[in-house]
Amino acid sequence: MRSACLVLFAAGAAGLCGGAAPAADEELSSVEGRVTFNGKPIPEGTITFHLKDDQFVGAKLKDGMYRVDRVPVGEFTVTIESKKARLPVKYSREETSGLKLAVKKGKNTADIDLSD
C-alpha cells in the first residue's frame, strides 16, 4: 500500500513541476539576445515564448539581455513585460504583441527593438 501511495505522489509531483516533458524526438534550442525600447535596453522584465497548447517558456530580462533554453524549433509569438520600462501594453499580450520569432536547431540570436 505504501509503495502505491509513493508512486501516485511522484506522478502527481511530476505533473505539477513542469507538465508534459518534450517528446524525445523534439528538437530543443536556445535563444538569446537583447531587448531595447526606443533604442535603450530594458532594465528589467520578462520575455515569453508562447508555444502550442497554452504552454510557454521564458526568461528574465536584465539590462536588456536574455537567454531562453529548451525552446522547441518553430515559429512563436513573443511577449515582453517590464515594470521599470513603460512599454506599450500591446507587447505584453499574446494576441497583440506582433512579435514573432523563428527558432532553428541549435543556438539562436534574436535582438528585439520595441518602439511606441
Half-sphere exposure of 64 (CA within 13 A, CB side): 14
| Closest C-alpha among 78, 77, 87, 100 to residue 36 | 87
User: What cell numbers appear for 81 in the block?
Assistant: 513585460
At residue 114, the pLDDT reads 97
Residue with cell 506599450: 88
What is the block-wise mean pLDDT of the chain (116 residues), using blocks of 10 residues?
39 42 71 97 98 96 97 97 96 98 97 96
Q: What are the chain's domains?
A: 24-114 (2.60.40.10)
Q: Are 29 and 67 in contact (CB under 8 A)?
A: no
Q: Whole-model pTM?
A: 0.77
